[in-house]
Chain A
């Protein structure tokens, strides 16, 4: 290639392409609303291989969840403490308050705090994804592509999460969690966060088979000060731990055949207060 223009062509093309690259994002930048997700490159995928070994299935250390209920309770404010005390009494009496007895996602931060189900952690360019097993395979998306939170994100059960790496630690910042999403310490004891909650998490390996999530939860409507707690998850490489479908409502129905011979789900019937088993199986 002797022609200087041809020699310079790659640089010219690169410069032209750069013109189409996303602009640096500012929280108040109108352009950010039109930002695009750049197509991932080989280098982006190669960079994933250098991240700490988080990818795969993890099961919660439930015994530690239970232990922490006693050793590190949230610093409830007076109003929340009163409700929590009542819920513990109800639980003890065998009348558990239905914190998650519906088909809404458990939501943040309870997803990390009280779940009994496995989740799978995935790395893709610009993103960390947690795929749960319960509640319709609930999911957390954590953007690691450098974007800020939107100026006014729509509230959701899992909120809006952005993350970045500090050495071997993934730091995640979550806002815009629905006020109705519970801060729960077990499946029968918890209160809605009531809004303005901010969660900072630090995911890191304690050892090759233990993932820790250090959470700092600021929820001024129900806590007297930010609450720091850690949840631990155990690595599962065995394929019997591969995540299965988890459809919340399915257990309320039983397999049946309708008048046209179609396979359908029919609501489970109750007799004397307990569900009745199907005769069809």
Chain B
């Protein structure tokens, strides 16, 4: 195997790993996240994607013990569901300092299913729960 072949094989393996650890963005089960665990991380928002079927918040997290900030990706539910929980597409903005509660990806990569996000400058806590939609309005 020449080095170019090794490189492409590596790329293929990485692509497969990517497909396994993070589901495509269409509707899917949240079983990819370990719901028995709830972790908290603090960091600065890189971007917030307000799209169907699922919204995503990216946060730059300073690792304990120093080093470059690491990018984490937190998936949540749809704009419709979040709107009913009090969110807007501007609720979370790049640069916001946040504390994120999430269930981690089972394989330990830097992502999770969002439970809630707290804006540290205002104390506002935004929940990703469906619970509100089980009550009539």
Contacts and interface: CB of A to CB of B under 8 A. Distances in A.
B120 to A, nearest CB: 19
A92 B14 CA distance: 24
Given A240-B84, A272-B110, A274-B111, A59 B133 contact: yes
Interface string B90-111: 0000100000000001110111
A117 B81 contact: yes
Contacts of B72: 274
Contacts of B78: 117, 133-134, 246
Contacts of B17: 273
Interface string A247-272: 11111111000000000000010111
A211 to B, nearest CB: 10
Given A133-B78, A240-B84, A277 B130 contact: no
Interface string A78-108: 0000000000000110111111111100100
A277 B71 contact: yes
B28 A274 contact: no
Contacts of A274: 18, 21-22, 71-73, 105, 109-111
B29 A186 contact: yes
A274 B58 CA distance: 10
A190 to B, nearest CB: 11
Contacts of A212: none
A139 B137 CA distance: 23
What interface size band does chain A fall in? 35 or more
Contact of B52 (A241, A248, A276): A248
Of B14, B33, B52, B78, the most chain A CB neighbours within 10 A belong to B52
B22 A270 contact: yes
B28 A236 contact: no
Contacts, number: 172
A62 interface: yes
Contact of A248 (B53, B77, B135): B53
Contacts of A250: 51-53
Contact of A273 (B18, B47, B130): B18
Interface in A147-205: 186-188
Given A235-B136, A251-B53, A101 B26 contact: yes
Given A96-B32, A275-B56, A275-B73, A252 B24 contact: yes
A224 interface: no
Interface size class of B (residues with CB under 8 A): 35 or more
A147 B43 CA distance: 60
Q: Which of B14, B18, B107 neighbours the largest number of chain A CB atoms within 10 Å of its CB?
A: B18
B30 to A, nearest CB: 8
Contacts of B133: 59, 62, 118, 234, 236, 241
16 contacts: A62-B133, A94-B32, A96-B23, A101-B24, A101-B26, A186-B29, A240-B83, A241-B137, A243-B80, A246-B53, A246-B80, A250-B52, A251-B25, A251-B52, A253-B51, A274-B110
Contacts of B106: 94
B109 to A, nearest CB: 4
B132 to A, nearest CB: 9
Given A62-B130, A278-B47, A100 B26 contact: yes
Contacts of A243: 80
Contacts of B21: 273-274
B20 to A, nearest CB: 8
Contacts of B55: 251
A46 interface: no
B125 interface: no
B45 to A, nearest CB: 9
A277 to B, nearest CB: 3
Contact of A91 (B24, B31, B49): B31
Contacts of B53: 134-135, 246, 248, 250-251
